Amino acid sequence: MEIIRVACLRFSRNPLHAPALWSRNPYRRGSMSPVPYSREKALIIGAGIGGLSTAIILAGLGYDVTVVEQNRKPGGMMRSFVRQGVHCNVGIHYMGALAEGQILRRCFDYLGITEQLPLVRMGVDGPVDRYHFKNSDLDVDTFDLVEGFDAYTENLNRTFPAQKSQIQSLMRMLRQSAAHLDRLDFLYTSEPAAFWIENFDTLGAVFDDLGCSPGLRAVFGLPSVLIGVPPAVCPRFFHTMTLASYLLSSWRLKDCGAHMADVCAARLAALGGIVRTGRQVISIRSRSGQVTGVTLDSGEQIDAPVVIGAIHPKTILGLLDPDSVKASWRRRIQGLKETASMVGIHALVPADRYPAIPHNVFSVETDPDGGIADMIYLQLRPCERPEAHLLTLLTSGYESMWQPWLHTRRGQRGPDYLAAKERLARQIIADMEPLTGGSRNPEIQDPHIIDVFTPLSFRDWVAAPGGSAYGVMRSTDQMLSSAFLNRNFLKGFYLAGQNVMAPGVLGTILGSLATSRLIVGPERFRREVRIS
Both 29 and 54 in a single domain? yes
CA separation for the pair 99, 145 (Å, rounded): 18
pLDDT tens string, the chain, 532 residues long: the values are: 545 443 445 444 332 233 333 223 322 222 223 434 558 999 999 999 999 999 999 999 999 999 999 999 999 999 999 999 999 999 999 999 999 999 999 999 999 999 999 999 999 999 999 999 997 788 899 999 999 999 999 999 999 999 999 999 999 999 998 998 899 888 887 655 555 556 678 999 999 999 999 999 999 999 999 999 999 999 998 899 999 999 999 999 998 999 999 999 999 999 999 999 999 999 999 999 999 999 999 999 999 999 999 999 999 999 999 889 889 889 999 999 999 999 999 999 999 999 999 999 999 999 999 999 999 999 999 999 999 999 999 999 999 999 999 999 988 999 999 999 999 999 999 999 999 876 555 544 568 999 999 999 989 988 889 899 888 998 888 876 776 677 778 999 999 988 888 889 999 999 999 999 999 999 999 999 989 7
CA separation for the pair 376, 362 (Å, rounded): 6
| Residue 513 CB coordination number (10 Å) | 22
Both 417 and 519 in a single domain? no
CA separation for the pair 171, 244 (Å, rounded): 10
CA separation for the pair 272, 32 (Å, rounded): 8
Both 158 and 243 in a single domain? yes
Residue 457 has a pLDDT of 94
Asked if residue 470 is part of any domain, the answer here is no
Query: Is 21 in contact with 57 (CB distance < 8 Å)?
Result: yes
CA separation for the pair 253, 93 (Å, rounded): 8
**Final residue in a domain of this structure, among 229, 250, 271:** 250
Both 404 and 497 in a single domain? no
Both 266 and 239 in a single domain? no
Both 358 and 434 in a single domain? yes
The number of folded domains in the chain is 3
- DSSP assignment of 273-330 equals -EEEES--EEEEEEETTEEEEEEETTS-EEE-SEEEE-S-HHHHHTTB-TTTS-HHHH
Both 186 and 269 in a single domain? no
Query: Is 254 in contact with 80 (CB distance < 8 Å)?
Result: no
Both 20 and 63 in a single domain? yes
Q: What CATH number is attached to the domain comprising 53?
A: 3.50.50.60
| Residue 107 CB coordination number (10 Å) | 23
Both 309 and 245 in a single domain? no
Query: What is the distance in angstroms between the CA of the first residue and the CA of the last residue of the chain?
Result: 38
Asked if residue 324 is part of any domain, the answer here is no
Residue 199 has a pLDDT of 64
How far, CA to CA in Å, does 122 sit from each of 146, 252, 291, 380, 434?
9, 7, 45, 13, 22
Both 191 and 215 in a single domain? yes
Closest CA to 42 of 24, 22, 59: 59
Both 349 and 449 in a single domain? yes
Residue 477 has a pLDDT of 85
Residue ranges making up the domain that contains 181: 145-250
Asked if residue 130 is part of any domain, the answer here is no
CA separation for the pair 477, 202 (Å, rounded): 10
Residue 17 has a pLDDT of 32
Closest CA to 104 of 260, 269, 234, 225: 260
Asked if residue 49 is part of any domain, the answer here is yes
pTM for the full predicted model: 0.90
**Final residue in a domain of this structure, among 202, 223, 250:** 250
Closest CA to 11 of 268, 358, 377: 268
Longest pairwise C-alpha distance within the chain: 71
Sign of CA dihedral 295, 301, 303, 304: negative
What Rg, from alpha-carbon coordinates, does the chain have?
23
Closest CA to 230 of 207, 206, 210, 202: 202
Asked if residue 474 is part of any domain, the answer here is no
Both 173 and 204 in a single domain? yes
Asked if residue 461 is part of any domain, the answer here is no
Closest CA to 174 of 193, 190, 150: 150
The amino acid at residue 255 is D
CA 454 to chain centre: 18
CA separation for the pair 188, 405 (Å, rounded): 47
Asked if residue 90 is part of any domain, the answer here is yes
The amino acid at residue 54 is T
**Final residue in a domain of this structure, among 227, 250, 273:** 250
Asked if residue 466 is part of any domain, the answer here is no
DSSP state of 478: G
